[in-house]
Structure 1
Amino acid sequence: MRSIKKIHKAISAPIGNLITYRALPTPSIDIDGLDPFLFLNHHGPQKYPARNSGLPFGPHPHRGFETVTFILEGDIMHQDTGGHQSTIKAGGIQWMTAGRGLVHAEVSSEAFKANGGDMEILQLWVNLPARYKMTEPNYIGLQKEDIPEVTLDEGKVTLNVISGRWQDVQAPISSLTDIKLSTVYFKAGGKFNAQIPAEHTIFLYVVRGEISVNNQSVTKLNLVEFNPDGEDLHLEATTDSVILFGHAQPYNEPVVAYGPFVMNSEKEIQEAYQDYQQGKFGVWQD
C-alpha cells in the first residue's frame, strides 16, 4: 500500500464574512509540495441569508495554471475576458485554463443573492508545465447532470468522474496533462480501492466526515500527503463522507508563485504583471 507521509490540517483563512479553510499551501506544506497541485481553498459550509452580497470574487487576473471549482452547495456565476459566461449550480464544476492570461470573476447569481441558501465550494489550482504556461485560455462549465457517476460497493460509494478515466468511464474533461480528478461520496462503511502509479502525486482531501486511508483515520478538513512508495489505495468511510480525489504525474519544474500568477521564474512573473497592466489579458466588460 502507498504509505502516508503526513496529514495536513487546513487552516482557517476567512475572506471577510466568507468562511474559508486553506488546505494548500499551509505552514506544514509548501505550494509545490504536491506537484502539480498548487492550492486548495474550502469555502463554507455556511448559510447565506436572503438579500446577501454573495461571493466576493470580482474581476481578477490569472496566468500559468488552471482553476477547478467544485460547487457542492449554492451556485457560481462565471465571466471572463475570453467571452465565457455561465452559472453553475450545486453538483457542477468549472474548469478554467488561465494559460497566457485572462481576467475572470466568480460571483453568486442574482437569485442566490436575493434568496440566500447553503453554500460550500472548493477551489483547486492545478499547475501547467512550462510548455503550456502560455497556452490559449479556455473555460468549461459543467452542471451536475453533465458529470458521469460510477456507483461502487453496492451503492455505498459514488464517484463523479470529472477528468481522466475511471475503469471504462471517460470523463467529460480531458486535461492538457492527463490529470485525474473526482469527487467521491461515501455512505458509512463504504469502501473504495484504487491502484495509482507509484510515481504519481495523489491528491486526497477530506471535505466532510471521516475515512480510513490505508488503515489510518483522516477526518474532515485534512489533506493527505503520500510517499511515492506503492500503488494500492484502500479507503473506508467511518461516517458519511465526501473527498476530493485526484492524481497526476509531477512536472518536477521550478514553481514561482506571486499573487494570481504561477510561472517558472521571477522574470516570467514580472512579465505577467506588465502584460496585465498593458491590457494583454483582455478588457473587462461589466
Structure 2
Amino acid sequence: RLGNDFVPQDGWRMYHGMKIPGFPVHPHRGFETVTIVLKGLVDHSDSMGACGRYGHGDVQWMTAGAGMQHAEMFPLVNAERVNPLELFQIWLNLPAEDKFVRPHYKMLWKEDIPTLNLRDENGRSMEIIIVAGSVNGQKAVPPAPDSWAAKAENEVAIWLIKMQANSKWELPAVSGQASRSLYFHKGSEMTVSGEKISSYKAIDLRASQNVPIENGPDESHILLLQGRPIDEPVVQYGPFVMNTQSEIQQAMDDYRKTQFGGWPWSSPDQVHGRNRGRFARYADGKEELKD
C-alpha cells in the first residue's frame, strides 16, 4: 500500500501521489537539485516541456534558477514484483548573482560517470563514483553550466564511496576553505581519524587535513559532500532558497502570478509508460535514449 512501503532505517521517508508514488508538480527557485538514483527509476517532467526517465546509477543535475516546476514520480514498472527505490537528492545553493539564471537540467548517465577503483596495502578494494569534483586525477562529468560546482575553485565534490570489509584509505586534503562531510549510510562500523562510528551517522571533517578511514567487518557505503561556502545569507522556505525574506515573498508572488511558465503536461503526476526505457528529452527538443 502506498505510504507503508518504507525501509525503517532510511534517513528520510515521505512522498506524495495517490496512484503512483513520487512528488507531483511543484515549484523551485534559487538553487539546484542533484538527484542520485542508486536503485529504481524516476520519471521527470517540467514546465519547460522537458522530460525523462533515469535511474539505476544515473544522476540528474537540475538548476531551478529563476523558477520552474517539475514532477518527480517513481514508476511501478514491475507489475508482479516489488519496485525498490533508493536515492539521494542533494540541494545545492546558488549565489545571489546566479539565483535568476535560466532553468536547466542535465543528465549524468551511469555509463559516463567516472569510477575510481583502488586497493589498499593489503589488497582490499574500494570504489569511488565521482559525481562531482575530482580525485586522484579523475574528473567528474561537468555539472550544469551555471552551478556553483562548475567552477573548480569552489572545490565542490560529491562522491559515492564503497569500501570492502577491513579496507583502509586516506581521504586526501583540499584547501582549508572548503566544508566537508561524510554520511556513513550502509555498513556496521568504521574508524575515521581514530574515532569509531556506526552507520547512519554524518560527520563533519576538516577539509585541510588528510583523513585516515579504516572500515569495519562489513562492506561500507559513504556519501562525501564538499564545497566552499558561498558566504551569503540564506533564507529557505519550502521549495525556495533565496537571500532575504523579501525575495522569498517575491518568489511566492511570482509563482502565483506566472506558475513559472505553466504546466504543459496532461497530469500533475506525469509518468512515461511501464515499458519505456531510460531517456531524456530536453527543452530544445534534443533527445537521448539509453535503453
TM over 0.5: yes
- State the one-letter code of the partner of 2:37: I
Partner of 2:163: 186
CA spacing shift, 1:62–1:280, aligned 2, 3 Å = same
Residue 195, structure 1, aligned to residue 173, structure 2: yes
Residue 130, structure 1, aligned to residue 96, structure 2: yes
Q: 1:262 aligns with which of 238, 241, 244?
A: 241
Partner of 1:96: 62
Question: Greater CA radius of gyration, 1 or 2?
Answer: 2
- State the one-letter code of the partner of 1:202: R
CA spacing shift, 1:83–1:123, aligned 2, 3 Å = same
- State the one-letter code of the partner of 1:257: Q
Counterpart-to-counterpart distance in 2, 1:101 and 1:74: 28
Specify every segment of 5 or more residues in structure 1 that has no aligned partner in the other structure, as ranges.
1-14, 24-40, 45-51
Q: Indicate the larger mover: 239-248 or 213-222.
A: 213-222
Counterpart-to-counterpart distance in 2, 1:249 and 1:134: 21
Q: Is the 8 A contact 2:106 2:143 kept in 1?
A: no
Counterpart-to-counterpart distance in 2, 1:99 and 1:250: 18
Q: Deviations over 1:171-223 (max 9, x none)?
A: 11336223211111111122232212222100211121133221222222211
Q: 1:169 aligns with which of 138, 154, 167?
A: 138
Q: Deviations over 1:126-158 (max 9, x none)?
A: 111111111111112233222111001256111
User: By how many angstroms is 1:254 displaced?
Assistant: 0.7
Q: Is the 8 A contact 1:60 1:103 kept in 2?
A: yes
Partner of 1:29: none
Identity level (%): 32
Residue 55, structure 1, aligned to residue 21, structure 2: yes
Counterpart-to-counterpart distance in 2, 1:256 and 1:113: 43
Q: Is the 8 A contact 1:75 1:88 kept in 2?
A: yes
Q: How many residues align?
A: 247
User: By how many angstroms is 1:260 displaced?
Assistant: 0.6
Partner of 2:258: 279
Counterpart-to-counterpart distance in 1, 2:55 and 2:143: 21
Q: Secondary structure at the match of 1:281?
A: helix
Q: Secondary structure at the match of 1:134?
A: coil
Counterpart-to-counterpart distance in 2, 1:278 and 1:112: 40
Residue 80, structure 1, aligned to residue 46, structure 2: yes
- State the one-letter code of the partner of 1:134: F
Q: Indicate the larger mover: 251-260 or 185-194.
A: 185-194
Specify every segment of 5 or more residues in structure 2 that has no aligned partner in the other structure, as ranges.
150-155, 267-291
Counterpart-to-counterpart distance in 2, 1:66 and 1:55: 22
RMSD between aligned alpha carbons? 2.6
Q: 2:212 aligns with which of 230, 234, 239?
A: 234
User: By how many angstroms is 1:121 displaced?
Assistant: 1.4
TM normalised by structure 1 equals: 0.78
**Deviating 4+ runs (over 6 angstroms):** 20-23
TM normalised by structure 2 equals: 0.77
